[in-house]
Amino acid sequence: MPADGMLPTDPALRVAAYRELDARPSTDLLAEAGTVQLVLPEANALRLWANLEPSEQGTGDFPPAIEDTDIAERIVTWIRVRIADDAVPAGGQVQARISWLGINSVPVVQYARIVGEVLGVGNGEPDQRVQLSQTPVLPDSLVLTVGGERWEMIDDLLAAGPEVSTGPVSLLSSYAESGATPPPVNVFTLDPESGLIQFGTGVNGRRPPVGARIQATYD
């Protein structure tokens, strides 16, 4: 806008102009929630259109009329949010779904730490399941022990090894000879939304031994 905030008297020249700001987003804001740090000009460069007519408010690129006088008197300047031209693929369109915009914001993660929750004891059965009491769960925070020994979380129990080696030559020996890492055995899967933990069948992943205490610490 003009340095003095005054629009020209010629109607053809009365158009909204904005100054591009240095924007530093914390993440890809088209994909997830985040914050943007804006570098504003000096205070004396933050202006409003001083002679904007009521009929012009909300037209073109001019800001809308603010009916609440208390709020209107507190407005220092207007900031327009647009999708950067280089974010739009050639011949395509990008949609930005915005649920909230505000100032002086910081990212906050709220969680509670659950320490040593007893989930039950092993029953020696295939596919044993136990339930975390607090959900949802931050997967990377989960530490699970069976009989005092830490077990490993895995994406798919079918990738787990058997709890007992079979065949004329032990699996451990064959893996040692080939230099490969044997598949993990003391494993479980987690559904972070429901808090459900599942153990193996014995063929794919070890079954928690009968009477072994199952405990979890997690956020």
Residue 72 CA: distances (Å) to CA of 62, 65, 66, 67, 143: 15, 9, 6, 7, 53
pLDDT of 125 > 60? The answer is yes
Q: Report which of residues 130 and 84 the model is more confident about.
A: 130
What number is the average pLDDT over the span 163-172? 61
pLDDT at 77: 87
Q: In this predicted model, what pLDDT tens digit does every residue of 184-198 receive, in sequence order? A: 999 999 999 999 999
Q: Report which of residues 3 and 133 the model is more confident about.
A: 133
pLDDT of 91 > 90? The answer is no
Grouping H, G, I as helix, E, B as strand and the rest as coil, residue 196 is: strand
The residues, ordered by sequence, that sit 6+ positions from 107 with a Cβ below 8 Å of its Cβ are 26, 33, 34, 35
Q: How confident is the model at residue 202 (pLDDT cuts 50, 70, 90)?
A: very high
Alpha-carbon distance of 170 to 180, in angstroms, equals 14
Alpha-carbon distance of 61 to 67, in angstroms, equals 18
CB 203 within 8 A of CB 127: no
213, β-bridge pairs: 121
Q: In this predicted model, what pLDDT tens digit does every residue of 146-160 receive, in sequence order? A: 999 999 999 999 999
- Domain positions in the chain are 1-101, 114-218
pTM of the model: 0.53
* Average confidence score pLDDT of the chain: 86
15-29, 81-95, 99-113, 189-203, range with greatest mean pLDDT: 189-203
